[in-house]
Structure 1
Amino acid sequence: MTLDATEDLTHDDFLGGKIAIWQPRRGYRAGVDPVLLAASVPAKAGQSVLELGCGVGTASLCLAARVPDLQVTGVEMQQAYAILAKRNAQENTLPLTVVIADLCALPAPVRQERFDHVIMNPPYFDRSEGTASDDIGKDVAFAGETPLRTWLDIGARRVGPRGYLTLIQRMERLPEVLDALAGRLGAVIVRPIAGRAGRAPELFLLQARQEGKTPFRMAPTLVMHSGETHIGDQESYTPEVTRVLRSGADLHIWH
């Protein structure tokens, strides 16, 4: 897949225009989820971050825009997306080193390093339970060939002492995630994400810590939209979500 022509791309603002991201006009397009992921990472200036499957760099760059002086590395197997991630980092003047590699074959410099934070937005769907998309980029982003358990195993291995793993995933895969992390990372916190109050959560944010001893906790549900139904074209995000999406505010998994 190549994304050489400008007409193949869009240039989209995130965080209220604090950063702008080049991404494919067709195929997988970053939306709200990577922004929520980035806002949930409790990173501090000077720390190191690894994003597995960074795509065009949206989550990593949103995080770098919020927290200064981070050392951010993104791994992306699709060359076209990785090239865009490098371009986005350069044009937004943010620190992101992009490594083009399959997460199952990380290069030695990444394998030999442990990070303060590992973040990921793994494919939401199990390849064995669906049909591949005609668009390669979209197919890899939404399903891919690498099992979720492998993502979690590789991510857990890269978390340094007292470091954090933070991810976003579909709610029906929560048991699979918890099972994969059992005995690996502790102090697990899950924050469900629902479209509106009273609706069942469709997604969740999860954070776990190396050497963490705190018992499992379920945080209050993050409600994305105000009101019972969508009305016209007006934006209906709740105040908490608006601060995250438009101002680059923190999104605490645990209050």
Structure 2
Amino acid sequence: MHIRELDPSASPLDYYGYELRRAREAAGLTQRALGSIVFCTGSLIGQIETTLKVPTREFSERVDAALGTDGTFSRLVGLVLRSQLPSWFQPFAELESRTTSIATFQAQVVYGLLQTPDYARAVLQAGWADGLDEQVAARLERQRILTREAPPWVWVVLDEVVLHRPFGSDKVMREQLTHLLDLQGRRQVRVQVLPLGVGNHPATAGSFTVLRFDSDPEISYSENYDKGYMTANPDVVRDCSHRYDHLQAAALSIEDSAALIARVREERYAEQPEPDGSAVA
């Protein structure tokens, strides 16, 4: 059988595949044998070893346990998944993973760190993303910063239209809005809604984000459909910060925002009973 040779320096995915094959062979296991241990097919092991498939975090944790690799693949998979993000977005994702504070205004969709898997899939599918499964996994990987030992403070202002614009089914939207409400219980996450009645606000150009760090300059970030714009220019960052302050002042309080989210969830995306009385999405 011809075995495809990988250049481990070509990409994080190539490095992962190279190391997986090396560790498996060092353990004296065939692809089928390792697959049976980690509850997948030998074919999937081969596809990951040859970069035809992107590994998941769950797969990586199982491989570490099976091969006794002391968390090697669990650490590598973060780099692999980040490499699946659009190339123009990766520098921002790297900074986002190290930030201590995020202030963001979102005019179209829920901020990526707060998206549910199904909502993220619907948003990415609407944007014609290639490799949809990999893109969803990469977006969810970004969210791990919210559960790290010292998570960043995340302040989000959502335009009310985000709550009303459906991505996916009513069930998807209901779960997404429920997730936003659940996140309000975390001390480091705060969500405010800019009501539709606020017609005159300073962010008519669209969504933007400001990242803050302990010792590095603040960064402002905005994007269009195929590229992002990131800068540490103090004048630009200061302007974005002032605009965000005005948005927060015009937005509903955290408590009133939660009440509005709950109301939209029930009025627009409530479960609909079937004729026999059982609830359906």
Q: Which has the higher strand share?
A: 1
Q: Give 1 or 2 for the bigger CA radius of gyration.
A: 2
Q: Which has the higher helix share?
A: 2
Question: TM above 0.5, one fold?
Answer: no
Q: TM-score, with normalisation over the residues of structure 2?
A: 0.27
